[in-house]
Amino acid sequence: MRLSRQAALLLTAAWAAGCASKAAPPRSPTEAGTENAARFARDEDALLGDLAAVDARLARRTGVVAKESDVRKNVMGAILAEDSTLEVGDEGALDLFSFEARARGLEAASQRARGWTYPLAKDVELERRLLVRLIDEEKARVAEEKALPRSASELVRGVVACWVPPSSQEAGKERDKWLARRLTDVLASLRDGALTKFEANELDDSLDALERLTAGYGESSVAMARLRVALDQVKPASDPTHDGESVRRGVRTHLGLATDAAMFARMERAEKELRKAISASNAGRSEAEMRTIESDALARVLVEDRCHGNGSRLRSRTPPPERAYVCGSLRRMADATSPHARTAALMALHTELVVALWTSPIHFGQDAPYRAANKLRPLMPIPPEREVRLLRVAAVRPVAALAVGWAAVLLTEPGPDADAATNRARRWLSFGDAPFDIVEGAGLWTETESSNAKHK
């Protein structure tokens, strides 16, 4: 019997469907989750390689080495975009002054990461969110660093951090020419009122480390000397900086927080509570013991470090500069086991809160930095040269200052109890580095713990 063509097609389709169902049984949710987690791990690894080729600082922070193919991709993108400003450094990434090329690479990475819509388990989905946030932070960093000369000190620090010895004498000559060109770019951006005195001093100090690395570099040495002379000659901007809106954007992007009156009110309450608690704990101590505690505390103020981030590739990476002081503060508090060490840790937290509070009158009010510092003093005496460095953080790196200040708030609320602060620091350190909105939403501290701390 002959089948009609339509019937034959239907039978063939039914047979194929039956074979397919036998060959590929439905996957269980566990199997699907495992496969998607492995897929994300591969996608993440490839994307981190792309990011490493965009910015050598990201390569160092994530521990991923840029591939030559990724570097070529960036160069080709610059050619197609007719970008004549691109340069590739010896470390295998775009040089930090290639702003347009960096922006293109980050935008491409952002689109890729946002296109990963396959379902993921909760912990893996958090990693995907963190990767998207990382890219958003770096996109903001390009915009911030493009604004020369205010960004010049950060760019110089980046060059120093990523410095590797030239591979040959010829490579050394090329680097000398490249660095001279980039320092000349900074010089060209200088004008009266472009930098405050604090910003000019920050740039001048950042050049010290670069000068040591480039001993014997003729062209860049000349360019550096010209830049230093210009820094002394240009008329500084008057204080305060009145750049509150840019600080708000930075805090929102890098910290996940809103910079408003409520934030500063919580920091002010935490500062007062810490001041009272430390004064009470020191009431029975001798003068010599107090000096020892203060010395230990001062040595641990605004120290950069990295968090543990157990089980997380992104939370265990070296934090961005805006949150680097936070991990240092957590480690100091987590390692405080004796009463002496815990008092020193709380005193360092208090000093960091004071530095964070200095940012308000400097960037949002009418006070010059020194006037802001005179209105609110740390508990412990601070040598003038060290205080200038602390004040410079508030004036030049306000996002980093607010980050470590907010960490002090989270460690000491609802009350500055040393045991509770130590336990919180250890849990946070184990969780790892992340913007604060993610840390606060991670459920690291229970209601019972907070209640106990409040009533101790």
Provide the Cα torsion 270, 271, 275, 277; round to 10°: 10
| Predicted local distance difference test score (pLDDT) of residue 82 | 64
pLDDT per residue of the chain (456 residues) written in tens, 0 to 9: 443 444 443 434 444 444 444 455 555 555 566 889 999 999 999 999 999 989 999 999 999 887 777 677 777 776 666 666 767 765 567 889 999 999 999 999 999 999 999 999 999 999 999 999 999 999 999 999 999 999 999 999 999 998 988 888 998 999 999 999 999 999 999 999 999 999 999 999 999 999 999 999 999 999 999 999 999 999 998 876 678 999 999 999 999 999 999 999 999 999 999 999 999 989 989 999 999 999 999 999 999 999 998 889 999 999 999 999 999 999 999 999 999 999 999 999 999 999 999 999 999 988 889 999 999 999 999 999 999 999 999 999 999 999 999 999 999 987 888 889 999 999 999 999 999 999 999 988 865 454 444 433
3-state secondary structure of 237: strand
Residue 285, classified by CB atoms within 10 Å of its CB into exposed (0-12), middle (13-18) or buried (19+), is middle
3-state secondary structure of 90: coil
| Predicted local distance difference test score (pLDDT) of residue 451 | 44
Q: Are 328 and 304 in contact (CB under 8 A)?
A: yes
Residue 209: how many CB atoms within 10 A of its CB?
15
- Global pTM exceeds 0.95: no
- Kindly provide the b/e burial profile for residues 347-384, where b requires at least 16 CB atoms within 10 angstroms of the residue's own CB: bbbbbbbbbbbbbbbbbbeebbbeebbeeeebbbebee
Helices (H), 55-193: 56-62, 68-80, 99-114, 122-146, 152-161, 169-189
Contacts of 143 (CB under 8 A, 6+ apart): 103
3-state secondary structure of 157: helix
Cα angle, residue 347 at apex, residues 327 and 337 outer, rounded to 5°: 70
Q: What residue has token string 């295998």?
A: 92
Q: Which two tokens stand for residue 81?
A: 């975009």
| Predicted local distance difference test score (pLDDT) of residue 29 | 53
d(CA 284, CA 204): 45
Helices 169-189 and 218-233 cross at an angle (nearest 10°) of: 20
| Predicted local distance difference test score (pLDDT) of residue 456 | 39
Helices 339-359 and 418-431 cross at an angle (nearest 10°) of: 70
Shortest CA distance to 275 belongs to which of 391, 379, 357?
379
Cα angle, residue 36 at apex, residues 107 and 253 outer, rounded to 5°: 35
Helices 152-161 and 122-146 cross at an angle (nearest 10°) of: 120
Q: What residue has token string 């480039």?
A: 214
| Predicted local distance difference test score (pLDDT) of residue 293 | 95
d(CA 340, CA 293): 7
Q: Are 314 and 238 in contact (CB under 8 A)?
A: no
| Predicted local distance difference test score (pLDDT) of residue 445 | 80
Q: Which two tokens stand for residue 24?
A: 């590929």
| Cross-strand partners of 94 | 88
